[in-house]
Structures are given as structure tokens and as C-alpha cells.
Chain A
Amino acid sequence: MDSVAQRLSAVGSANALELRGVTRLFGALAALVDVSLTVRPGERRAVLGSNGAGKTTLFNCITGDFPPSSGTIRFFGEDVTAFPPQERIRRGLRRTYQISALFPRLSVLDNVYLACRGVSRGRYSFIQPRRSDALVHAAENLVQAVHLTAIKDRFVAELAYGQQRQLEIALALAGAPRLILFDEPAAGLSPTERAELIEILSSLPAYIGYIIIEHDMDVALRVVERITMMHNGRIFKEGAPQEIEADPEVQELYLGGGHA
């Protein structure tokens, strides 16, 4: 275990995320093969690739939903490879899910409140929060940030699809996130909702970095500074959006040549 001093010194200098030789096997299937990836603090990156390229598995390994079969994962300098998900989350990692993973039988505000509570003390508290509770305020602000204040008392099960996607983002913003993994946040959204999403992503404070899985190039290109291309569980290209777009290999494999 690292000492506190080591951890503190690591915070200043280290990369936000550092994967070294991460491999994940499902039986005989290799979903991730020897993936190495470095993300600087505050960096905004997209991971692109066809279905089955290993993008969501990559996210699952980073958050600890599935441990990697081999390789190491460092989060702000700290080796978190063996940590359970909640320990990584408490250190400032967040994620959203491709298929909304919310709490349908709780209200919108309660969903966000749980997200705020999960990364602070008092997770086992038997005392009801007061109206003036700081976390209730934080939750209300987040609900406002994703434009859901008007329906904050509704059960999540009653929400429209686009609203659930927005709530997904609010949950990921709770507490003090340092790196957020967005898994296809724009999937299934209307053009208006996409514009709202782009606005939310680009208005995040500069110290919050994120990795976004996105099929919609128009969304991805507007909100990231770097792109990682994946294919068959491997990373095969990395670079600025313009380079990736211009790359003939990428065009053939992923964009099908037809994309402007």
C-alpha cells in the first residue's frame, strides 16, 4: 500500500489514467489484448471502434466492473488494478452506462442524491437529510445542470429516454470527479438533445477529463482533443481528430470511406 505522502506526490505529477498491457479474456475470447493507454489530467478523449472492438470492456476494466486478466491500471499514479469499483469511484473516477443504469423506483432527485452520498461520508447514516443538507443542495444543483429540475420528484421509471440519458450524466458528475468515462452518451438522442449534450460536455470545468465512446463523429469531434481507435480488442491508432479522420486505414475500417 502506498503511503499518504507517496499518494499526495503522485497527484501532482501523474497521469490521470495509465493502462499497461491490459488484457481481458472471456473464456477463449480475448475482448482486450495488451492495451496500453495514457490519459493526462483534464484530457478529453474519444474511443472509437466498431461493435465488438472492446470499448465497453475497456471501460469495465478501468472501473473495476470486471478485473483485467492481466496488466496494470493506475489512476492518478495509484495502482488500482486490484481495487473494487467503489474504491476507484471514491478516488474520483466516474462512468455512465450505454444502457441507462439508474434506479427506476426512486425519484430523480434521490438518484442524484445517492450519487452524491456514495462519494462522501455517511453512506450508512440512519438520519434523514434536512432540506438544508449540503448534499441535497449539491444534488439539486446537478439536477438543474442537466435541465431536470421540473421533474425532480418523478420516479425515474416514468422518465422519457432522453431525460434518463441526462440523468446518467448527472450521476457521473456527482462529488468531485477527476476522470469520467462516458459510454455512448448520445445514443438514441434527438438532434436537440445532442446539442444539449455537447453543451454540457464542453462546459465541464477544465480539470475534469473524460473518455467518451461515441459512434456519432459529429459529437465526438466537437468535444475531444484526442482519439483512440480500437479494433478487435486492440488499439491500432491514436492521434488528434484531424489526423484520425484523414487516415486512410481508419477510413476503410471504421468510416467506410463515405464519411465527410
Chain B
Amino acid sequence: MALAESRARGASSAASQLPWLQNLNPAAVLVAVVVLIMPAIASSFVLTQIFGWAYMLGTIALSLMFLAGYGGMVSLAQVTVAGFAGYVVAILGVNGVPGGRGWPWWLAVLAALILSTVVGAIVGALAVRTEGIYTIMITLAIAAAFYYFTNENYAIFNGHTGIDGIPTPVFLGVDWHAPIPFYYLTLFVAVLCWLAVSYVSRAPFGLALQGIRDNPRRMAALGFNVNAHRVAAYVFAALIAALGGILLVWSYGEIAPGAVSVSAAIDILVIAVVGGIGNPIGPFIGALIYAVLKTFALDVLVAFGLDGNRFRLLIGLGFLAIVFFSPDGVIGLWARWRNRLQAGSAPPQKAGDGHG
């Protein structure tokens, strides 16, 4: 499977690692400047519907990247965890459904994060005894079960209708629902999660996870408890997915079973794979491509006299092309292009290469 072949880059030796700032490369600085000044150059629509949305989807896809890229575990239940967190915020916080609990937003968020780690641990405990395609199957089953449950259960999840009337909180004197504040809020969370994943990948926990990906049996023969380590990875990934899910609920002001459907789960998988699961920046690139395609493909298709609802066809074709030409996603294309530029003059490649 193409996912498994994707190489984990962004790995430099624990001991020979350079301090943070020295690792900055010009492309990263350029991207940082562009995303920071984006509100000055882009319309509210582009700000929230393209970039804000990409940051939120990218954060959820990042949780999958962490599990798949570093842990070798492809979980289709990351959307389920994100949606679960969204539902907790919707149910416990202020909402438009009669009989709402009306907890303050921060308490609802805290509850959502804590409960999501519990759900992550349960999903992990069920999934870690399986390998490869069976992990995909069992997490798919969990995702489908949760979708149908939310669809049928009216007592808690308000069934097919879902829960609406969820306000984006106002704090620090800022109305975070306004386009520019919300853009920065999503950017902040995305960067925070990206930094956390990048950092943890070089900490003992993340290194050991990569060791488990490469050879679980040997990791046990080095003194590691492989299954406990995998469950812990699911818990960490659940926290990240939950943050993305909470932002999505605030962005829409509502949540319905469609948010945790199997097709939503597959979208996140596509985003992670298209962007590249070898590097934490990959999911955000994938999410940006997805957001652009989903927003504009309709107009493009209509312009060519085709049914606008076929935008998924474009995404599907793009997915095929990427997986066919580059198993490491867009990030892999970039790395190969850069290596080709360096080829010839450069010394043999070191493990430290490829830090985004």
C-alpha cells in the first residue's frame, strides 16, 4: 500500500540536532510571512472558506499523519474523534436546541478535550491489536457505528437534525467569529499542533513510535511495551483531532451526523495522503488543495459544461495522480525536486535532510 511506503522525513538524529532557529529554511520563512499577512491581502471569503477551513481540516488530518506516518497505523476514526469533541462542545455549551446545558465555552472545551482522549484511548485499545488493513477496517467500523448512532439518537445527539445555534466564543475582548480573528484562531491552533507533532517526533515518545512502525517485534525486544505505546499515540492524536473538531463546530455554528460520516473520514484520509504523511506539514498542504478544489471545482466544471456536483471526480483524479506519481504525496514531490537540484554536487544524503 502506498501509505506504508511513504518515508518519514523530518528526522534528524537526537544528538546532532541543531537548535530550532538554525533549522529555518527560506521556503518556511516565506510561508510564515504569507500566512501572517494573509488578512491584509485576501477577502473574508478566501480567509475563512479556503485558509481557515484548510487549517481546521489540516489539523484533523495531522492527527492521522501522526498515527500513519510515525506509527504506521492508518486510522479512519480521526474524524470520529474530532466530531465527538465537536458534539461535546455543542451539547454541553450554549446551543439552539431546547434543554441545552449552557456551560461556559471554556468548560465545554475542557470537557471535550478530556472526553476525546478517553475516546482516543478506547479506539486505540480496539485498533492496536490489528495491523495494516485490519486497522483500517476496525477504525472504519468505529466511524460508521458512530455516524449511525448520532443519526438515530435523539436524546443526546438530536439525530439527523444535529445541533445548531452554537456561538463562537467571545474572549479577551475579541469576537472570534469575525473573519480575521477566526482566521488567526485557526492559524494559531494549526501552528501549535504542527509544532507539537514536529517536536514530539524527535522526543523519546515519537522516536519510539517510529521504531514501532519500522519493527514492532524488535521494539518489544528492546524493552518497550508496544501496544501501550500505540494506545498512547492514539490519545495524543485524539487531542489534536479534537482541537480541529471544536474549531469546525464554531466555524459552522452547528454540527450534524454528516460531520462524522464515512465520506468525511475518507476525505481526511485523502487530504493526509495527497499532502504527504511523511512530514507534519503535508496534511496542511493536502487540506489547502482540498479546500481550493472543493470551493472552485464547481465553477470550473460548470464553465466546461459539466455537472458541478462532480467536483469529487476532480478530487478523485487528483488523488490517483498523486498516489501514482508520488507515494509520499505533494511533500514527496517537493523533496524529490529539491534533491534533484542538489544532486551531483552534494555529499550523500544525511538523515537530517528534509526538515520542512
- Which positions in A face B, CB cutoff 8 Å? 63, 65, 84-86, 89-90, 95, 97, 101-107, 109-111, 113-115, 117-119, 122-129, 131, 133, 136, 139-140, 152-155, 158, 171, 174-175
The reply on B223 being an interface residue by CB < 8 A is yes
Q: What are 7 of the A-B contact pairs (CB < 8 Å)?
A: A102-B215, A103-B211, A105-B7, A106-B210, A113-B207, A136-B15, A139-B15
Say yes or no: A103-B210 contact (C-beta < 8 A), given A89-B222, A119-B222.
yes
Say yes or no: A101-B15 contact (C-beta < 8 A), given A107-B351, A123-B224, A129-B204.
no
Interface of B is mostly: loop
Q: How far is the CB of B299 from chain A (nearest CB, A)?
A: 42
Contact of B221 among A89, A126, A133 (CB under 8 A): A89
The reply on B202 being an interface residue by CB < 8 A is yes
Nearest neighbor of B214 in chain A, beta-carbon distance: A103
Besides A105-B214, A110-B14, A153-B16, 12 more A-B contacts (Cβ < 8 Å) are: A86-B223, A97-B218, A103-B210, A107-B13, A109-B15, A114-B208, A114-B219, A123-B204, A127-B203, A131-B15, A171-B222, A175-B223
Interface of A is mostly: loop
Q: How far is the CB of B204 from chain A (nearest CB, A)?
A: 4
**Is there contact, CB below 8 Å, between B210 and A85?**
no
B9-62 interface (Cβ within 8 A of A): 11-17
Nearest neighbor of B228 in chain A, beta-carbon distance: A124
Chain B hits for A97, CB < 8 A: 218
**Is there contact, CB below 8 Å, between B14 and A109?**
yes
B222-256 interface (Cβ within 8 A of A): 222-226, 229, 232
Q: How many residues of B contact A (CB 8 A)?
A: 39
**Is there contact, CB below 8 Å, between A84 and B218?**
no
Chain A hits for B203, CB < 8 A: 125-129
Say yes or no: A126-B200 contact (C-beta < 8 A), given A84-B220, A153-B351.
yes
Q: How far is the CB of B218 from chain A (nearest CB, A)?
A: 4
- Which positions in B face A, CB cutoff 8 Å? 7-8, 11-17, 199-200, 202-205, 207-208, 210-211, 213-215, 217-226, 229, 232, 348-352
Residue from B203, B211, B232 having most chain A Cβ neighbours under 10 A: B211
**Is there contact, CB below 8 Å, between A104 and B222?**
no
Q: How far is the CB of B225 from chain A (nearest CB, A)?
A: 5
How many Å lie between the Cα of A129 and that of B220 in the bound state? 22
9 closest A-B pairs by beta carbon, nearest first, are: A118-B223, A118-B222, A103-B214, A107-B351, A101-B218, A89-B223, A85-B220, A125-B204, A136-B15
Q: How far is the CB of A183 from chain B (nearest CB, A)?
A: 11
Say yes or no: A128-B202 contact (C-beta < 8 A), given A65-B217, A105-B8, A106-B214.
yes
Chain A hits for B205, CB < 8 A: 123-126
